[in-house]
């Protein structure tokens, strides 16, 4: 197992769509970030000098058990299907309650590598009122390759977008 996690990107070109599949392989750093915060929180339940009532302890536990800790529920794989009319991402979007995101191609304002926080590096799409990471885990080179492939194949998706 490597120290840092890495993303394996697969691209499939079909006659009327592009498919990108990302499988994320966790490293030691990822396991450390997932295990240490819950252990610290659970250990506060057993420390006698921590005199908060149990309701506060439960609230602290629930606030820390967010999507960054539980994103493994949706698996390691994310898929992005791109057609001339929409970009549809399914799978692990590193969101606890969301496994699907759709952005109409006519609303795409920007796409490429971006970071929406410590756990949301990857290929992002901004369109309309939303900006989201639809292929999390990709590095800058992989994300820019995905963006270039999409713009080359579907020039109707923001043909005047600055690159």
Is 109 part of any domain? yes
Q: Is residue 51 part of a domain?
A: no
| Residue 118 pLDDT | 44
The CATH number of residue 17's host domain is 2.30.29
Question: Which one is predicted more confidently, 54 or 85?
Answer: 85
Q: Is residue 162 part of a domain?
A: no
Structural domains of the chain, count? 1
Strands 121-127 and 100-104: unpaired
Report whether pLDDT(159) > 60.
no
pLDDT of 150 higher than 60: yes
Each as own residue / partner, the long-range contacts of residues 37-40 (CB below 8 Å, 24 or more positions apart, any chain) are 37/64, 37/69, 38/64, 38/65, 38/69
Residue 47, in any domain of the structure: no
Tell me the pLDDT tens digit for each residue of 132-148: 888 888 889 999 999 99
Does residue 108 lie in a domain region?
A: yes
Instruction: Supply the pTM of this predicted model.
Output: 0.74
Domain membership of residue 114 as a residue range:
8-23+79-153
**Domain assignment of residue 46, yes or no:** no
**61 lies in a domain?**
no
More confident residue, 107 or 50: 107
């Amino acid at each position: 197992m490597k120290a840092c996690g890495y993303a394996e990107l697969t691209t499939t070109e079909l006659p009327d769509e592009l498919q990108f599949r990302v499988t994320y392989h966790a490293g030691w750093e990822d396991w450390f970030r997932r295990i240490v915060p819950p252990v610290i929180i659970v250990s506060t339940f057993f420390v006698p000098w921590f005199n908060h009532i149990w309701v506060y302890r439960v609230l602290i536990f629930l606030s820390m058990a967010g999507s960054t800790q539980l994103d493994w529920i949706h698996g390691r794989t994310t898929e992005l299907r791109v057609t001339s009319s929409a970009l549809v991402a399914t799978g692990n979007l590193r969101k606890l309650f969301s496994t699907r995101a759709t952005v109409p191609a006519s609303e795409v304002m920007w796409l490429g590598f971006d970071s929406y926080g410590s756990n949301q590096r990857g290929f992002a799409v901004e369109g309309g009122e939303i900006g989201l990471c639809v292929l999390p885990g990709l590095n800058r080179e992989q994300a820019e390759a995905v963006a270039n492939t999409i713009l080359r194949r579907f020039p109707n998706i923001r043909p005047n977008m600055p690159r």
